[in-house]
Chain A
Amino acid sequence: MHISEGVLPGWCLITGWVLTSAGLYVGLKSINGRKIPRTALLSAVFFVASLIHVPIGVTSVHLLLNGLAGALLGWAVFPALFVALLFQALLFQFGGITVLGVNTFNMAFPGVVAYYVVKPLLKKGTTGSLIAAGVLAALIGVFLAATFVSAELMSVGSSFTKTAELAFLAHIPVAAVEMVINSFVFLYLKKSGIPLEV
């Protein structure tokens, strides 16, 4: 779901950068010493996760794990994903530098939403609620990102419903895999006594 360089018009790119800058500001403010290693780790996870792909129909999709990163990081998901996307753009030509703002927002904002939705469930901490949290984080992260991408591609004339339909259908397996991963990670963290909330 990286939008390539040269697809979106200028105003879209600028809006993306403005929103991402705001997110980065809030995110960097929220990072304290204890949170730095966690942010680094999830940034690395997101960086690698995009290389795990599933070919589906006419497109090819990959794991996002932005819901997981969001749930564990809160607003700090913005700097984490920004760094990861920057290196994906530089090293793999996924996306690009000018669209980095838009791509970061697409991925990180659903993460923030997931954070607020999942927070009470993580606090509760029973097995059932942790699994529910994992499922919800995956759904919100993946499908909200797909919605954003579809909305942005509307600006270049592709119809929203058609792109959204494709994006949603293509990402169903991704969401399914992520649900399992997220629940597994939450349960594991709980078992290891690592605090889930930040």
Chain B
Amino acid sequence: MKKLLVFVFSFLFVLTAQSFAHKISAFVDVEDGNVSLVSYFSDGTPAKNAKVTVYDSKGNVVLTGRTNKEGEFDFKIKKSGKYKAVVLAELGHRAVVNFTVGTPATSSRSKTSQSAGTKTAVQKQSKPSAPSLSEEEFRKVLREELRPIHRELLKIEEAQSSISYKDVIGGLGWILGIFGAAMFGYCYRRREGGDAS
């Protein structure tokens, strides 16, 4: 049994060094009502041609579609609010991702036009010398500036959803513990004189 153990584990460690799989994750990037969804298997393979269904907060189906070769699916949502996208890939893989389109501050165009008067006043106050930017332009610049940070955040989110060695070793420890406890119980009963076989 000891030989078998050494053999199997050395073999598995060689193989696990390669990579990890096996669930799908979905990530959503919202920019001004343009939503891009991307879905991966946990090893980074894109989930191709997976069915995507988008629900609104009431559970009604807003739209459906399929991911492309890169596991991406882009769509537009005009109404702001909370949405839920469900990705269903082949062989029963499923991922759910929640996202919000347009926070009150950024989305509602009607609101910006209403506050146009006050906006210029604010701009004058804070930066009197700067060339006055229209709010549209300002938002565009801001988005450009924030894009790297946005990407970084998505990357972190993706990294968190993948599997770490810690989890693998932790899981092995749990299995060892459970069967160790079983072995302990078995040996204990036997020592007590019970016929435990």
- Closest Cβ of chain A to B162, distance in Å, is 9
Within 8 A of A (CB), among B1-54: 1, 3-5, 7-8, 11-12, 15-16, 18-24, 41-43, 45, 47-50
- Return the chain A residue nearest B86 by Cβ: A6
Which residues of chain A have C-beta atoms less than 8 A from B20's C-beta? 51, 53
User: Given A58-B49, A60-B22, is A44 in contact with B94 using a C-beta cutoff of 8 Å?
Assistant: no
User: Given A37-B179, A166-B90, is A48 in contact with B168 using a C-beta cutoff of 8 Å?
Assistant: yes
Which residues of chain A have C-beta atoms less than 8 A from B96's C-beta? 6
The answer to whether A129 has its CB under 8 Å from any CB of chain B is: no
The answer to whether B196 has its CB under 8 Å from any CB of chain A is: yes
Contact with B along A28-51 (1 / 0, CB 8 A): 000111001111110111011111
- Contact between chains at A43 and B43 (CB < 8 Å): no
Partner of B190, one of A33, A88, A95, A181: A33
Q: How far is the CA of A3 from the CA of B93 in the complex (A)?
A: 6
Which residues of chain B have C-beta atoms less than 8 A from A58's C-beta? 47-50, 89-90
B interface bracket (residues with beta carbon within 8 Å of A): 35 or more
Q: How far is the CA of A194 from the CA of B2 in the complex (A)?
A: 10
- Contact between chains at B92 and A87 (CB < 8 Å): no
- Contact between chains at A52 and B18 (CB < 8 Å): yes
User: Given A7-B88, A37-B1, A52-B16, is A60 in contact with B41 using a C-beta cutoff of 8 Å?
Assistant: yes
Which residues of chain B have C-beta atoms less than 8 A from A181's C-beta? 11
Which residues of chain B have C-beta atoms less than 8 A from A167's C-beta? 91
Partner of A7, one of B1, B92, B187: B92
- Contact between chains at B21 and A36 (CB < 8 Å): no
The answer to whether A4 has its CB under 8 Å from any CB of chain B is: yes
- Contact between chains at B92 and A51 (CB < 8 Å): no
Partner of B12, one of A49, A55, A163: A49
Which residues of chain B have C-beta atoms less than 8 A from A92's C-beta? 22-23, 42, 163, 167
- Contact between chains at A60 and B45 (CB < 8 Å): yes
Which residues of chain A have C-beta atoms less than 8 A from B178's C-beta? 40, 83
Instruction: Point out which of A44, A91, A95, A188 has the most chain B C-beta atoms below 10 A from its C-beta.
Output: A44
Which residues of chain B have C-beta atoms less than 8 A from A36's C-beta? 179, 182-183, 186
Closest 6 CB pairs of A and B: A53-B21, A40-B179, A3-B92, A4-B94, A60-B41, A55-B45
